[in-house]
Amino acid sequence: MTDLTGDPLPSWRAGPTRDALLGFLGAVPEIPPEDRVAYFDNDGTLWCERPTYVQYEFYLDALRRRVRDDPALAHEAEFRAVLAGDSAAVGEIGLERIALALAGLFRGLDPAAFTRETRTFLRSAAHPTLGRPLAATRYRPMLELLGALRALDFTVGVVTGGGTEFVRSVSQELYDVPPERVVGTMIAYVLDRDDAGRPVLRRTGRVLGDVNEGAAKVTNIQTQLGRPPALAAGNSAGDTELLEWACAADGPHLSLLVDHDDADREFAYAGQAQTFAADEPITDTARRLGWTVVSMRRDWATVFAGGLTDGEPAGFTRNG
C-alpha cells in the first residue's frame, strides 16, 4: 500500500467536511484491500453539469453538423425543439424521446468511431457560459480525492446517469478511470459484418435496460462490476440509493453529497433526479441519513481544475 504524503486535499478548506474526509482516509487501513472500492457519480459530482450536461452539448454539436449536411433533419419535432432551445417543446415531447432521437444520430457507428468523436469534441469544445474548455470544468477538489484514494489502493469507478460509452470514451483521460469501470445508461449494439466479412459492433438508437439513475445505479454496479463501495459520492436525488449503499458497508465508510451552492464560481441549484420526483430535497435526505455534505461555496478553496493540456492538480496521480 502507498502511504499519503503531504496534504492530500490542498483545495479543501478547513472545516467539518475536510475533517470527515481525512478521518475516512486515516481509517482506510482498517478496510481489507479487496473492499477498498469507491464510486463517483459524474455529472455535477466530478465535473460541471449546468446549464446543460456535457453529453447534451456533444449531441447538440453533432446535430448542428448533421443539419448542415441534411437540412431536413431540422424539421423533425425532436430536433426542431433542441435547435430552438425551446424548453416547453422539449418538455412536451419528453426528455426520453429527445434523448433517444439524439442518440440515434450515431446509429451505425462502431465503438472506436464513437470514441474518436467524443474525444475530438472534448478537446475542442468550450463551456457555454463559464468561458473555459469543457475539460477544464472538472472539479479540482474531487480530482484530489480520487488521487488520495488511489494512493491508498482503492479501486475507483464512475457511475453515471449519462451514456456509458460517452463516459467510457473519456474516463481514462479525465479521471484516470479505465473504461471497464464505468457504469451508465447503455445503448444497445448489434453485431454486423464489414465488407471483408469481419465482425463489427454497431450502435443502435435503443437503450438497453433502464436509465442508470436511482436504484438502477446500485443494481447495474452489482451486475457489471460486482463490488460494493466503501465510499460513494453524488450530487442529486438520483444518487440516493448509491449513497445509502455505501453507508451499509461494514467498517469505515463515507457517503459524500456535493451541494451546488456557489452561484459566483459555478451555479447554485438543488440536485434533482431526471427520471423521477424525490420526496424531499437531497440535502435534507443527506442530513437525515448522516451523509457528509460538501458545500461548494464553503468547502472548496478552488473549484475547477485546468484543461487536459495544463497538467493535473496536486494530489491527482495517474497510475499508468
In a domain, 320, yes or no: no
What CATH number corresponds to the domain at position 239?
3.40.50.1000
In a domain, 268, yes or no: yes
In a domain, 6, yes or no: no
In a domain, 9, yes or no: no
pLDDT in tens, 169-187: 999 999 999 999 999 999 9
In a domain, 92, yes or no: yes
Q: Which CA distances in Å does 33 have to 52, 181, 188, 245?
A: 38, 17, 34, 19
Please give the residue that has the higher pLDDT: either 30 or 315: 30
Q: Which CA distances in Å does 177 have to 107, 112, 193, 206, 234?
A: 26, 18, 31, 26, 16
Instruction: Please answer whether residues 7 and 148 qualify as being in contact, where contact means their C-beta atoms are separated by less than 8 angstroms.
Output: no
In a domain, 313, yes or no: no
pLDDT band at residue 91 under the 50/70/90 scheme: confident
pLDDT in tens, 304-318: 998 776 656 545 555
pTM exceeds 0.85, yes or no: yes
Q: Mapping DSSP to helix (H, G, I), strand (E, B) and coil, where does residue 272 land? A: coil
Q: Provide the mean pLDDT of the chain.
A: 94
Number of domains comprising the chain = 1
Give me the phi and psi of 17, to 5 degrees please. Answer: -70, -50
Range of the domain at 236: 16-299
pLDDT in tens, 115-135: 999 999 999 999 999 999 999
Whole-number pLDDT of residue 307: 76
